[in-house]
């Protein structure tokens, strides 16, 4: 079948950063790609309502195409080792997680800007350090964090679990480096 020459044109796309609302939770599943994290999104949103977390979104046309979640001034056990590290006085730390940008929009600066904006939000909320974990098999992401002045301070087995949308507990084992940056 001959279809002739098909059109090609440029899109001028506005990206607006904003904090997630309840109506975003379904959209964060990205049409099935992250349906298994449905409960996790809901729990994070509830944490946001309690003032413990923030869900920062990069929005185009009302749809979240990028995201990073922030655990503000965390006090949970996992990080006690960080707080007690020699030479590093206990200070408020924010933890960045679930950073992702839709595949077709990667490599255009959205991820970098999400991290920088998350850092600003952490400072506003009293944190003087930012931490992030990166899987050992994700050198590109690690390179991005290094470029933004994050340094590795410890390794972690990266064992955690979540309950998926069917109610099944999923155990994750993703060995990672923990990286930090003074804000």
Ligand X SMILES: CC(C)(COP(=O)(O)OP(=O)(O)OC[C@H]1O[C@@H](n2cnc3c(N)ncnc32)[C@H](O)[C@@H]1OP(=O)(O)O)[C@@H](O)C(=O)NCCC(=O)NCCS
* Shortest reach from residue 67's CB to ligand X, in Å: 9
Tokens of 131: 């931490």
* Shortest reach from residue 156's CB to ligand X, in Å: 12
Rg for the chain, CA atoms, rounded: 18
Q: Cα dihedral angle (95, 41, 48, 160), rounded to 10 degrees?
A: -40
Write the DSSP symbol of residue 139.
H
Site membership for ligand X, residue 20 (CB under 6 A): no
Per-residue string for binding with ligand X, 94-133, x by CB under 6 A? -----xxx----xxxxxxx---------------------
* Shortest reach from residue 170's CB to ligand X, in Å: 17
Report how far apart, in Å, the C-alpha atoms of 57 and of each of 18, 62, 113 are. 5, 10, 11
Binding residue count for ligand X, defined by CB under 6 A: 16
Distance CA 100, CA 140 (A): 13
Q: Which residue is nearest to ligand X (CB)?
A: 111
Site membership for ligand X, residue 146 (CB under 6 A): no
Residues that bind ligand X (CB under 6 A): 99-101, 106-112, 134, 138, 140-141, 143-144
């Amino acid at each position: 079948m001959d279809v002739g020459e098909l059109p090609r044109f440029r899109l001028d796309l506005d990206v607006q950063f904003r904090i997630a609302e309840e109506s975003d939770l379904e959209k964060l599943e990205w049409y099935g790609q992250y349906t298994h994290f449905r409960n996790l999104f809901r729990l994070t949103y509830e944490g946001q309502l309690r003032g413990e977390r923030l869900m920062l979104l990069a929005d185009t046309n009302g749809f979240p195409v990028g995201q990073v979640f922030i655990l503000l001034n965390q006090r949970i056990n996992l990080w006690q080792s960080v707080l007690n590290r020699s030479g590093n006085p206990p200070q408020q730390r924010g933890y960045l997680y679930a950073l992702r940008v839709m595949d077709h929009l990667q490599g255009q600066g959205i991820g970098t800007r999400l991290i920088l904006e998350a850092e600003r939000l952490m400072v506003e909320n009293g944190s003087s350090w930012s931490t992030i974990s990166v899987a050992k098999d994700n050198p590109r992401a690690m390179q991005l964090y290094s470029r933004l002045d994050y340094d590795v301070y410890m390794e972690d087995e990266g064992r955690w679990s979540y309950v998926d949308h069917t109610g099944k507990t999923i155990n994750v084992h993703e060995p990672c480096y923990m990286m930090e940056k003074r804000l």
